[in-house]
Amino acid sequence: MAENRYLPGLEPAFPWTTRFQLHLGDCLEGMRRLPDESIDLVVTSPPYNLDIGYGTYHDNLDDEAYLGWSVDWAKEVKRLLKPSGSFFLNVGSSPANPWMPHALVLALRPLFHLQNTIHWIKSITVETREGDSISAGHFKPINSPRFLNDCHEFLFHLTKTGKVPVDRIAVGVPYADKSNIGRWSHTGGRDKRCRGNNWFIPYETIKSRSKDRPHPATFPVELARKCLRLHGGDPPSLHMLDPFLGIGHAAIAAAEEGVGEFTGFEIDETYLGEALERLGLPPQN
């Protein structure tokens, strides 16, 4: 297993104000070196245990081993998270293993409160009142006489108390009926309402999988950005963590939102190199 290596404090190519600490190595070992209650926000997507072809990690543990490993790293997340912190856990499933997201969040029940369950919608079809169908987004089609195409993943919002305030309006949407702005006192005159727990965030169209999506299981930058905004607070004062950095989409969201400090761990040197390149940071030696 690769040894953790700290990213030197060199100036990035982009004018980020975020202080990056990106490490090559196992996140469980790395998180143990961080101080208690030092993290405000965790946004991550661990391996789903669906036999996905990662470069280094073998995504095919038996269910018991996978859940035990998940509890181990989640215990470190709990230790690191401040009482006011938020832990956003993105996880998907497959027709062959549909129970895994539910089994995972139940395994974490002794550690965290499940404060919100958000559905990341990748593709959707809406039928208008006129009878037209509008389709948007991307999905991987399933050719099966038994299963529907899988067009969503789970995003579990976990906290230590279940009582952490969030900024619902920061990820809000305009009212369809503008009369609601004046009808309801809680609007404060703003044309914004709570988005709810269905977030339609499609993948960007790619021209080259090897170039545009070199990691087999990424979440969009926009998903991490919405998590940041929902958590709220003053971005420069936040310390954000992604234990499974991948190619750095959570780090990019942190930089674009002006988060003060970001820590990430990635076990695969190729993926870490891609993350550094996308952030405009120098490669590690």
Report residue 217 as tokens: 């299981």
Percent helix / strand / coil, the chain, rounded to 5: 30, 25, 50
Three-point CA angle 208, 214, 219, nearest 5° = 105
Q: Three-class SS of residue 95?
A: coil
What confidence tens digit (pLDDT) does each residue in 216-257 have?
A: 457 899 999 999 999 999 999 999 999 999 999 999 999 999
Mean pLDDT of 49-78: 78
Q: Which residues pair with 200 in a beta bridge?
A: 121
All structural domains of the chain, each given as residue ranges with its CATH number in brackets, are 19-123+153-279 (3.40.50.150)
Assess contact for 73 and 112: CB atoms under 8 A.
no
Find how far residue 194's CA is from the centre of its chain. Answer: 20
Residue type, 4: N
Angle (nearest 5°) at CA 209 between 205 and 214? 115
In this predicted model, what pLDDT tens digit does every residue of 129-171 receive, in sequence order?
Answer: 899 999 999 888 888 899 999 999 999 999 999 999 999 999 9
Q: Which helix (H) or strand (E) holds 80?
A: helix 63-80
Q: How confident is the model over 14-35, as pLDDT tens digits?
A: 668 999 999 999 999 999 999 9
Q: How far is CA 178 from CA 129, 195, 196, in A?
A: 19, 15, 18
Helices 249-257 and 221-231: crossing angle, nearest 10°?
50
Q: Which amino acid is at 222?
A: E
- H-helix or E-strand containing 103? helix 100-107
Chain mean position to CA 63 = 22
Burial class (CB in 10 A: 0-12, 13-18, 19+), 278: middle
**Other C-beta atoms lying within 10 Å of the C-beta of residue 45:** 24
CA distances from 141 to 49, 149, 175, 223 (A): 20, 6, 33, 22
> Average pLDDT of 32-52?
88
Residue found under tokens 């990056």:
20
Amino acid at 159: T
- Condensed to tens digits (0 to 9), the pLDDT of residues 81-115 reads 999 999 999 999 888 889 999 999 999 999 999 99
Strands 152-159, 113-121: parallel, antiparallel or unpaired by DSSP? antiparallel
Contact (Cβ atoms closer than 8 angstroms) between residue 137 and residue 222? no
Please state whether beta strands 152-159 and 81-91 pair in parallel, antiparallel, or not at all (unpaired): antiparallel
